[in-house]
Amino acid sequence: MRVLARLRSPRAIQDFLDGLDYSNFEAARSPRGVLRDRRAQCFDGAVLAAAALQRLGYPPLLFDLEAERDDDHVLALYKVGGLWGAVGMSNTTTLRFREPVHRTLRELALSYFEFYFNLAREKTLRRYSSPLKLARFERAHWRTDDAAMPRIESALYALRHYELAPARALRALSRIDKRAFDAGLLGARREGLYRAPRG
């Protein structure tokens, strides 16, 4: 865990995550497990980011973005001057770091909306969660014990989630244009991308 001491800003934490391999369809690892294996998916990447942010004095918080016909996405939250930012691990280029310029969590979630899409080019983000305080899991040794991860996942997905837009607006969404689609998937591991069922 000593490597976390070298990560002295949220941006440095993001750069470290960007240097890890993206893992597909594997059990989530604790921060210690991620550092050991040098690979992560979005959930365990977010937990590692939360641990690193805690070393900088931020409370360790997770944030869930809930999608339809797509995977959910988990981020670590941080707040500067009353404004929210996020750090995250993603298989796409556009669902990672956000500067702390968002007044509310809804604003933060909306910053991901246009860039959250599936392989059918559908915009899929629908809801966002309340923050999950990882301080709840101190006795489970969440920084070092892989066995704590399922408990954290269950608690995160059980939180209240808030709708981003009314159904009538979502029914009228256009598909993402090809240039933005291609840019979002730059460097992605295709085998790890969600494939929406036809129909």
| Full set of structural domains in the chain with CATH | 2-187 (3.10.620)
CA 149-41-32 angle, to 5 degrees, is: 50
Q: Pick from 85, 75, 86: which is nearest to 42 by CA?
A: 75
What's this model's pTM, rounded to 2 decimal places? Answer: 0.94
Cα 42 to Cα 60: distance, rounded to the nearest angstrom: 16
pLDDT tens, 152-185?
A: 999 999 999 999 999 999 999 999 999 999 998 9
What is the predicted pLDDT for the residue at 69? 92
CB 144 within 8 A of CB 47: no
Q: Which residues of the chain have pLDDT under 50?
A: none
What is the predicted pLDDT for the residue at 102? 99
User: Which two three-digit tokens encode residue 111?
Assistant: 């910053």
What is the predicted pLDDT for the residue at 25? 66
What is the predicted pLDDT for the residue at 106? 98
Rg (CA), the chain: 16
Which residue is listed with tokens 């309340």?
A: 130
Cα 7 to Cα 12: distance, rounded to the nearest angstrom: 5
Q: Pick from 2, 13, 32: which is nearest to 148 by CA?
A: 32
What is the predicted pLDDT for the residue at 190? 66
Characterize 16-34 residue by residue with b for buried, 16 or more Cβ atoms within 10 angstroms of its Cβ, and e for exposed.
bbeebebbeeeebbbbbbb
Q: Pick from 149, 148, 112: which is nearest to 129 by CA?
A: 112
Cα 197 to Cα 77: distance, rounded to the nearest angstrom: 32
